């Protein structure tokens, strides 16, 4: 498995380096500035890894999902249905939530502790 190349700077020089990058690349976001001077392998990796545009609504949905996960157990648990057109980030949103709540193998217990499960269903063929 290939690991992400990364940039390393000591803490004393980090602020000066950030200030210089901000002056040289004022049009870039802070996260992107460090990549501007990175080697080709690091820049290619960052591009291929993809990115997420933070929408206000996606933040609200993630917050609601956190509330649902923390809800005390009752007979009829509350739920959430996310509906949107294709390529609007529904799966990405769910993957981020799953990454925030990974399973605990619980080696001392009888079973793994899985706080959230993602199930994908395909649309039925109509016609």
- Give the pLDDT confidence of 7-47 residue by residue, as tens digits: 554 566 778 888 888 898 899 888 788 788 889 998 898 88
Element (H, E) at 88: none
Residue 116 lies in a domain: no
Residue 123 lies in a domain: no
Model pLDDT for residues 48-107, shown as the tens digit of each residue: 887 766 788 899 999 999 999 999 999 999 999 888 888 888 888 999 999 999 999 999
Residue 117 lies in a domain: no
pTM over 0.75, yes/no? no
Residue 106 lies in a domain: no
Q: Cβ(113)–Cβ(104) under 8 Å?
A: yes
Instruction: Provide the domain limits for residue 43.
Output: 11-49
CA 99 to chain centre: 7
Task: Supply 122's token pair.
Answer: 């395909």
Residue 1 lies in a domain: no
Looking up tokens 């959230």 gives 116
Domains identified in the chain, total number: 2
Residue 2 lies in a domain: no
Do 45 and 60 fall within a single domain? no
Closest C-alpha among 6, 55, 59, 11 to residue 31: 6
How far apart CA 45 and CA 6 sit, in angstroms, is 10
Do 63 and 42 fall within a single domain? no
């Amino acid at each position: 498995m290939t690991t992400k190349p990364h940039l390393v700077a000591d803490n004393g020089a980090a602020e000066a380096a950030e200030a210089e990058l901000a002056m040289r690349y004022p049009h870039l976001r802070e996260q992107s500035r460090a990549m501007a001077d990175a080697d080709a392998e690091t820049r290619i990796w960052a591009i291929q890894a993809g990115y997420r545009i933070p929408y206000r609504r996606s933040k609200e949905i993630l917050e609601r999902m956190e509330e649902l996960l923390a809800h005390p157990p009752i007979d009829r648990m509350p739920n959430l249905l996310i509906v949107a057109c294709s390529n609007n980030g529904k799966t990405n949103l769910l993957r981020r939530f799953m990454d925030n709540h990974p399973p605990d193998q619980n080696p001392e217990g009888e079973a793994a502790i899985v706080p959230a499960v993602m199930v994908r269903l395909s649309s039925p063929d109509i016609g």
